[in-house]
Structure formats: C-alpha cells, structure tokens
Structure 1
Amino acid sequence: MSHPDPALVDVRPLADHPLVEAGEGRSLRMVAPGAVTRGRFGLVEYRLGPRTPGAAPHYHRTFAESFYVLSGRLTLYVGGAWQTYRPGDFAMAHEQGVHGFRNDGDEPASMLILFTPGVAREAFFAEMAEIGRRDQPPTKEEMAALYARHDQVMVDV
C-alpha cells in the first residue's frame, strides 16, 4: 500500500515567526502566512497592551477574517456595536462584514486572527508595524493608500 507524500507537511518553529513590535503596545507574529499555506489561509497572533487601540471598524471585499481570543478581554466591533470577549470566544467577519478590535481593559490581551483565503495580509501587518514604530504619525493620504492596497475599507460608525 502506498502512502501520501510526507513532505507535504509544513512545520514552522517559533524562530521562523518571531514576535514583531508594532508600536503603541501592539505586537504580532505571522504564524502561517498565505505563502506557507499555499493561499488557503493566513494565521496571525496579535497582542494588545492594556488600553490599546487596534483596528477601527472596517471590512474586506475579498476575504473573511476570524478572531479567537487567547488571553485577556478583547473588545470587538461586531453586529454594529463594541462588545467584550474573553478567552475561548470566537468571531468571524465574512466578506463585507464590518468589524474592528481594541483592548479596553487594564490587562494585556491576545488573539489569533485567521484570514481565508490566505491573502498576503502579512504585507499589510508589516507596513502597519513600520508605521507604528515611526516617530511621526502617518498622513491621511498615506493610510488611504495603504488601505486601498490591502482591501481594507474603513467605515465611520
């Protein structure tokens, strides 16, 4: 009896996906970027310090984004309102579903963010981290161009 190819298993040791500081109490780890998953999904570990802003309400046209709370209390914008979620809670924003996140609590919070399909979201997070580490805030034009490149449509709520 023949078996499938064992080379079709990918392993990424922690050293291959280090935690990257993203400024203002935020850090992230690109656990499984779309390039590794053959575009099937992308997985990011995202950490927010106490009272740290995250992503303002927005949506994506071409991919879904899911959130799984690992630690702390995470505030998610879902269903038209900001709501607090705890470890083990899960939320999925389908394509064009308005969502956002932040940490309103006094303790750090962390979550896994899953993108399907595995769009090159790591480029977005790398650019956001770079902006977050700068001494000067980005211009409105710079942010609009970033969002346009990465299928992120901001929503006023």
Structure 2
Amino acid sequence: MKTDFFNDILENKAAIVGPNEGETFTMNGLSLTFKVTSELSNDQLGVYEIILAPQTIGAKLHYHRFMDETFIVTKGVLTIQTGPNDEQLATPGTVAYIPRFTPHGFRNNTDEEVKVTLLFNPSQKREGFFRGLKETLGEQPIDPGKYLKLYNKYDSFPVDTSDMLPVRD
C-alpha cells in the first residue's frame, strides 16, 4: 500500500466527559475525579477535578521536573503556595500555571468546600500517582518512605522531606 504524504487522515477520537462522569475516589478530605486520563491523551494531558473539604491540604511544597501543572479554581478560595514564604489566594476564575521546577503546594484554609480543575502536561501517567496516594494516605501511620518513593516515581519532589506529608500538625 502506498503512503499518502499529502492528505490528513481524519478520525473521531474525541472524549466528552460530563459533569458527573469519570472515575472518582476520596482520601483525607479530598475527592478526585479523572476527566482526561493519560490513556486517553497518549500521555500528553491529564485533567482532574479535585474537591477539597474545609481545612484540607492538597499537597505540601514540591516541584516537578518533567511536567507543568495548572490549577483552575471553580469554587471557593484555594491557597496556593509558590515558595516557603509566598502564598496567593485563588478565587473562582483564577488560573495558576506552575511550570516545571517551580515549588508549589495547595490547600483549603477556609470553612467552605473548594473545587479545582487540575491539568498536568504531559500527564506522565498521573492516575497511578493518585491511586498510590490513596493507598499510602489510607495507612495509619503514614509511611514517609513509601510516600516519598511514590512521589519520586511520578515526578514529584518535596522541597522539605521532613515536612512533606499532606496532614495538618
């Protein structure tokens, strides 16, 4: 068969995920729904909806080497940390783009629920990270060594390993 170098081959590979669709699970005051997965996007993009209960930590200060992260706040006030002494309050409509090698963390410091759409580019099979995180955080006590191993496997590096667990003191 002769290869056609001049014409595009079109096919429908669209994924439309509705408001209440996607794989959802909860852990430590956080609800997570997979919207666009690594499998759907050929590892190019991950889109996840996160709901943080009041006074819940999403992640302590960390960074990524090979992916960028974007937060889109859709409900409530999210506290985004971009350095040891730099915090921003993100209200609905805020878009926070966090390029690789930028330290960041996020949490809900309010008494109201916070909803965020989270994007990873490329996605780096992030769903495995979230599934492993649920397992790791579900164990009591939380094993810091196991947590760090999971973090590092999925391109997450805590800024301070002595203060990396997403729990309030």
Note the residue ranges of structure 2 that are not aligned, 5 or more in a row.
Answer: 1-6, 164-169
- Give the CA deviation at 1:100: 0.6
- Equivalences for 1:60-99 in 2 at 5 Å? 60-78=64-82, 80-99=85-104
Offset at 1:6?
A: 4.4
Q: What is the distance in 2 between the residues matched to 1:20 and 1:29?
A: 7
Identity %: 31
Is residue 131–residue 137 contact of structure 1 (8 Å, CA) maintained in 2? Answer: no
CA change 1:14–1:133 in 2 (3 A) is: farther
Q: Name the amino acid aligned to 1:50.
A: P
What is the alpha-carbon root mean square deviation over aligned residues? Answer: 2.1
| Unaligned ranges ≥5, structure 1 | none
> Hey, what does 2:59 align to over in structure 1?
55
**Residue 50 (structure 2) pairs with residue 46 (structure 1):** yes
Counterpart of 1:146 in structure 2 is 150
When structure 1 is superposed on structure 2, of 112-121 and 71-80 the one drifting more is 71-80
> Is the contact between residue 72 and residue 118 of structure 2 (CA under 8 Å) also seen in structure 1?
yes
Give the secondary-structure state (helix, strand or coil) at the position aligned to 1:78.
strand
Output the CA distance in 1 between the equivalents of 2:40 and 2:144. 33
Q: Distance in 1 between matches of 2:90 and 2:66?
A: 26
**Offset from partner CA, 1:108-155 (integer Å, 9 cap, x none):** 001011000121011101111223334x13212111211121111101
2:119 to 87, 104, 114: 114
Residue 29 of structure 1, CA deviation: 0.3
Cα distance in 2, alignment partners of residues 46 and 16 from structure 1: 13
The 3-state SS of whatever aligns with 1:35 is coil
Compared CA separation, residues 12 and 89, structure 1 to 2 (3 A): closer
What residue number does 2:22 align with?
17
In structure 1, the partner of 2:108 is 103
TM-score, normalising length from structure 1?
A: 0.88
Q: Is the partner of 1:8 in helix, strand or coil?
A: coil
| Paired residue total | 154
Q: Letter of the 1:28 partner, please give it.
A: L
